[in-house]
Structure 1
Amino acid sequence: MIHHIKRLWAAAPLATAALIGASVFALFFVIRLSVAMLLWHNSDHREKDIEAWMTPGFISHAFNVPHEIILEAVDAPVPPPAGRMSLDEIAGYRNVEVSTLITAAQTAVATFHANRKAGSDRGPDDR
């Protein structure tokens, strides 16, 4: 193997350096992709609880629920007076406990997915 690399280096040093550099570069991204796939394959990141730092948009995206449902559940101001607001900021704006908003968002997510599942359990003739 070393003999082949020495022969290539003697014949074309710049091309050999470029080939080695491209191989290292490709190997780096293959390793990076593999690690990312292993980490994302773990389902823990999809089963997180709703927390006070989350915004309604983040919740709707993370839990695959329409944005309007979460906004209605937490009674968020539309448009927000200060840009994106977390549940904690919305609770302060509405003068309620953040736990109340978290519970409302969790209920909205659970209800949406239960209704969606019930709708998909029907057969094709049950329209």
Structure 2
Amino acid sequence: MLTAARNLWRKHRFLFIAFITALVVTAFFAARLVLFSLYWAEPAHQDQPVEGWMTPRYVALSYDLPPGVVREALELEPVDGERHTLEEIAEASSLTLEEIQRRIDEAVRAQKGDRE
């Protein structure tokens, strides 16, 4: 096997480097998929009460909602690339975390009503 690798390195260096790069990238995304799947499959991470450190994306994943539903419930503009915490959103919009939780609960009920 080592001889084959040396032969590939000598005769097809560019293709060998491209293949190894593709393997590394594939391994990275496979590991990421497994880790995220294990994290969100854990019941402790589902339907968590909102806390100030959470982002709308985290809430959407926790409640299994499309991100647009959370954005709409919190009356946020489309994503501008910055990740704001719920605490920052609450301060900017003069909402409390309890009000945010109520809006998210309403969005969950509305979304689950659409699914059934």
Normalising TM by the smaller chain, what interval? Answer: 0.5 to 0.7
Aligned ranges 1:5-44 → 2 under 5 Å: 43-44=43-44
The percent of aligned pairs where both chains have the same amino acid is 23
Please, which runs of 5 or more residues in structure 1 have no aligned partner?
A: 1-36, 119-127
Q: Which residue identity lines up with residue 69 of structure 2 in the other structure?
A: I
In the superposition, the TM-score normalised over structure 1's length comes to: 0.51
Tell me if structure 2 keeps the 8 A contact 1:50–1:102.
yes
Q: CA deviation at 1:66?
A: 0.8
Shift of 1:113: 1.7
41-50 or 104-113, which moves further after superposition? 41-50
Rate the CA distance shift 1:95–1:108 in 2: closer, same or farther, 3 A.
Answer: same
In the TM superposition, 1:61-80 aligns within 5 A as 61-80=61-80
Counterpart of 1:100, as a letter, is E
Task: Count residues with an aligned counterpart.
Answer: 79
Which one-letter code corresponds to 2:49 in the other structure?
A: D
In the alignment, residue 104 of structure 1 is paired with which amino acid? R
- In 2, the alpha carbon distance for the partners of 1:112 and 1:40 equals 19
Q: Which has the larger radius of gyration?
A: 1
Hey, what does 2:85 align to over in structure 1? 86
> In the alignment, what sits opposite 1:30?
none
- Provide closer, same or farther for how the CA distance between residues 57 and 40 of structure 1 changes in structure 2, counting only shifts above 3 A: closer
CA distance in 2, matches of 1:79, 1:40: 22
- Please report how far the alpha carbon of residue 61 of structure 1 lies from its aligned counterpart in structure 2 after TM superposition: 1.6
Q: CA shift at 1:75, angstroms?
A: 1.0
Measure the CA separation in 2 of the matches of 1:40 and 1:67. Answer: 15
Q: CA RMSD in A?
A: 2.7
TM-score scaled by length of structure 2: 0.55
- Cα distance in 2 for residues equivalent to 1:88 and 1:42: 25
